[in-house]
Amino acid sequence: MSAFLGAFILIINMSIFYLVAFLSIVFSLLVIFSKNPVHSVLYLIITFFTFTVHYILLNAQFLAIVNFIVYMGAIMVLFLFVIMLLNLNRDTEPMHSLVIKIIGIIAGGCLALTLIGALKATLSYKVPVVVTKSDLGLVKNLGKVLFNEFLLPFELSSVLLLSAMVGAILLAKKESNAIN
């Protein structure tokens, strides 16, 4: 009975994964193809939400919730904010000159090449990655890893963020001084 139930749960898990993966691909495509920038941002928010679901499926609760707060709750709000204020729509869209189109194609092609290369590199691992500890993504374990093994990069990145913050304030300040 319990073996059957376990298999059943596994099937549900897998089908949820495939459903969410499909949704995240669909919505990320919609981000690119929708004409209205505000709709683009909203689709991007849904895409991030599907990523959150992926994290939850991996039992990485902390990452899931941080993705939820930082990307969906903060960064995307600011994106939405700016785009709504600029009031971009089809009429104000910049001209699509041929040069820009060519540059876009080249840049996109480079990205696609890199991604394919990265995918090929992972394909060379014959053994699939298996998560040995299921509670790897919980706060306690994540904190221990971050503050022991990766202390230096963690602190460095925090200093980077701090300097970015100070820089932003400095930029804002300078402008107001110029007006005065």
Partner 1 sequence: METAFIIEKFILVTAVFAISLLIAMYSTYAERKVAAFLQDRVGPNRAGPFGLLQPLADGAKMFFKEEIIPAQASKILFIVGPSLAMLTACMGSAVIPWGQDLEIAGKKISLQVTDINVGLLYIFGVVSLGVFGVMIGGWASNNKYSLMGAIRAASQNISYEIAMGLSIIALLMVTGTLSMKEIAAQQSGFHWNIFYQPLGFLIFLICAFAETNRTPFDLPECETELIGGYHTEYSSMKLGFYLFAEYINMFVSSAVMATLYFGGYNFPFMNDLGFSANVITIIGTVGLFIKIICFIFFFMWVRWTIPRFRYDQLMNLGWKVLIPLAIANIVLTGVVLSLT
Residue numbers of the site for partner 1 (CB under 8 A)?
Answer: 5, 38, 42, 45, 61-62, 65-66, 68-69, 72-74, 77-78, 80-81, 84-85, 138-139
Q: What is the 3-state secondary structure (H, E, C) of 72-119?
A: HHHHHHHHHHHHHHHCCCHHHCCCCCHHHHHHHHHHHHHHHHHHHHHH
Q: Identify which of residues 42 and 53 has a Cβ nearer to partner 1 in the complex.
A: 42
Q: Identify which of residues 101 and 173 has a Cβ nearer to partner 1 in the complex.
A: 173
Report in angstroms how near the CB of residue 111 gets to partner 1 at its nearest. Answer: 29
Report in angstroms how near the CB of residue 150 gets to partner 1 at its nearest. Answer: 20
Q: Identify which of residues 7 and 139 has a Cβ nearer to partner 1 in the complex.
A: 139
DSSP string, the chain: -HHHHHHHHHHHHHHHHHHHHHHHHHHHHHHHH-SSHHHHHHHHHHHHHHHHHHHHHTT-HHHHHHIIIIIIIIIHHHHHHHHHHHT--GGGPPP--HHHHHHHHHHHHHHHHHHHHHHHHHHT--SPP--S-TTTTSHHHHHHHHHHTTHHHHHHHHHHHHHHHHHHHHHHHHHHHHH-
Report in angstroms how near the CB of residue 156 gets to partner 1 at its nearest. Answer: 21
Q: Identify which of residues 20 and 60 has a Cβ nearer to partner 1 in the complex.
A: 60
Report in angstroms how near the CB of residue 38 gets to partner 1 at its nearest. Answer: 6
Q: Identify which of residues 17 and 68 has a Cβ nearer to partner 1 in the complex.
A: 68
Report in angstroms how near the CB of residue 35 gets to partner 1 at its nearest. Answer: 12
